[in-house]
Structure formats: structure tokens, C-alpha cells
Structure 1
Amino acid sequence: MNTYKLTLIAVLASLAVVGRFAFNFLPNVQPVSTIIIICGFFLGPFAAIVLAILTTYLSNLILGMGIWTIWQIVAWALIGGLGGCIGLLSLKRPLYPLIVFAVFSGYLYGFIVSLATFTVSGKFIPYYLAGLPFDTYHAIGNGLFMFVLFPILSKIFNRYKKQWIVD
């Protein structure tokens, strides 16, 4: 991994942590999933997984650590890896498929994090069903953040694309 990628991942991690903290007053509305998907789309699955680990660890230092931290890392790493696989496809207009995937990832994230409760208490279905409204907030927020952030971040990624290939 070259210095351009490392720098970009560090900047994206700080953007995701600040975004997660800034939108903390809205339940499950946060730009983290979207930023990880965009990172995976442009930089590949490995970079998205590194970003998922960094973002989860750093933001949970502020918001609180617990058993859910491991499951958040798993969920965001899977979402970033899938975003990286979407990036391997050559899409002419990637915004709308990425919005659909971002909405889907809100529910996928909620499902995976709900597995943490199953491992502790053994009661998955009631907890998951009670959390579906929050997963819906997450999904809608992901779609909106993707609509806003993808055009902005894609310009940044495309500007530095030549430096990544050289190094």
C-alpha cells in the first residue's frame, strides 16, 4: 500500500469518525457506511476493510466500546469488501447502483450487529424486529449520504488516481 492510499484512508477515517460523532443525535444516521463503500469502490476491498477497522475503533473510543465493536467491524468490513467488489465491475454510471447497495447495507449492518445479541442472550428475532425501524433510518441515511458524498469524493479519488498507479 503506497503513501497516497494510506493518506487517503487516514483522511477518510477522520471524516467518518467526525461524521459519526456529528450525527450522533440522529439514531443510526451516520456517513460511515457510505464512506466505507466509496473507499471500497475506488481503492478496493482491502482498503475498505482497513478503513472499517480504523473508523470503528477510533469512533468507539469516543462513543463507547463493547462487544458490539467486534460486530461493527465485521459488518463494516463486509460492507466495504462488497463495495470493493462492486468497484471491480466497470460501471458507466455507478451512483444509482451504489445508492441501492448503500440502502441494502443499512439492513445488512443491522442484521450483523444484531447477531451480537444472539451470541449473548440467545434471543435474536425479537431484538432484530425491534431494531428494524433503526435499520431503516440507517438505510435511508446511507442512501442520502451516498447521493451527496459520492460526487464530491469521486472527484477527489479521480484527481489522485494517477499518483496511486505510479506508486
Structure 2
Amino acid sequence: MISHNTYRLTVIAMLGALAVIGRIAFANIPNVQPVTVIVIMAGLFLGAGPAIMLAIVITFVTNMLLGMGIWSVWQVVCWGMIGGLSGLFSHLLLRVNVIFLIFYSVLCGYGYGLLISIPTFQITGDFWPYYLAGLPFDTYHAIGNAFFMALLYKPLSYLLEKYNEKYLRK
């Protein structure tokens, strides 16, 4: 019989693989990728810790293929915060319908863009021009999040709920 911890790591690894494949597959469309939604889903169903761990793994694996830089640290911070907050507020977010979660994922796309732009202020001293120039890309991210949440919520929530029923609610 597979132990709870082994199964949990397997679920996290499968979510990570899905996110890595999705990010690589959509690399030609700026800022459109399923990572944010998968991290949100991990936070909702597995908790803040696994979501943060997933954010770290996804960022470093994909950036080894797409390019590593100082932004990698801030990607971990941003996706980790999104996953952590999703886990922290999962008791509220799991009570709402998928339309609200789509809206939440859109807000996370814009929040990610804002947070990842803040370190630029420390480097260049010009936050607003940089942030405003990146706003169209944040919009791509937000629209991509809405698309991926609408596409992935039902199958992932079904699988993750089955995991929770079997291993967490005994």
C-alpha cells in the first residue's frame, strides 16, 4: 500500500509536471501559461506549504529551460505568495463558484505583475514607466489565468478532492 506521504509527493510531482509542460508549451505566447492556476489549485486543495514548494520547483525547472536570472527569485516569491494565500484562504475560496475563482485567478495575474515589477524600482528607480509598459503582458497573464482556470478547475478539483477524501478526511 502506498503511504500518504508518498502519494502526496506524487500528486505534487504530477501537478509540477503539468505546470512545467504547460509553461513550455505556451512559451511563445507572452505571459500565458498554466502555472499560476496550478499553484492556486495546489493551495486550495493541498494547502499553503505544498503550493509554495510547487512554486519553487516549477520556477526553477522551467527557468532552466527558458532562462534563469534574477527574475527567477521574484517569480518564486510571487507564485509562492499566490499559492500561500490560496492555501490560507482555501476555506473561503472553496465555498464559492468557479466564476469567482476565475475572477480570483485574473486578480492573481495582475497581482503577480505588480509584485514582480517592484524589484525593478530598486534597480532603476523608475517603477511606474516599467509597470505601465508591462501592463499589457499582465493582461495576457490575467486572461490566460481565466482560460486555464475555466479549463482545469473541474478535472483538477475532482482529482484533488478524491485525494483529500482518501487521505486527509479519515
Q: Tell me the TM-score normalized by structure 1.
A: 0.93
Query: Which amino acid letter does the alignment assign opposite residue 46 of structure 2?
Result: L
1:158 corresponds in structure 2 to: 161
| Structure 2 SS opposite 1:27 | coil
* Deviations, residues 68-107 of structure 1 (Å, cap 9, x unaligned): 0010000000111111123122744441221111000101
CA–CA separation in structure 2 for the residues paired with 1:90 and 1:115: 27
Q: Is residue 86–residue 93 contact of structure 2 (8 Å, CA) maintained in 1? A: no
CA RMSD of the aligned region, Å?
1.7
Q: Is residue 52–residue 76 contact of structure 1 (8 Å, CA) maintained in 2? A: yes
2:80 corresponds in structure 1 to: 77
Matched, 1:5 2:8: yes
CA–CA separation in structure 1 for the residues paired with 2:163 and 2:29: 33
Of 139, 149, 152, the residue aligned with 1:149 is 152
Moved over 6 A (4+): none
Structure 1 residue runs of 5 or longer lacking an equivalent are none
1:127 corresponds in structure 2 to: 130
Aligned counterparts, 1:1-167, within 5 A: 2-89=5-92, 91-165=94-168
Distance change >3 Å, CA 42–CA 22, structure 1 → 2:
same
Seq. identity, %: 51
CA–CA separation in structure 1 for the residues paired with 2:97 and 2:27: 29
| Structure 1 SS opposite 2:33 | coil
Q: Tell me the TM-score normalized by structure 2.
A: 0.92
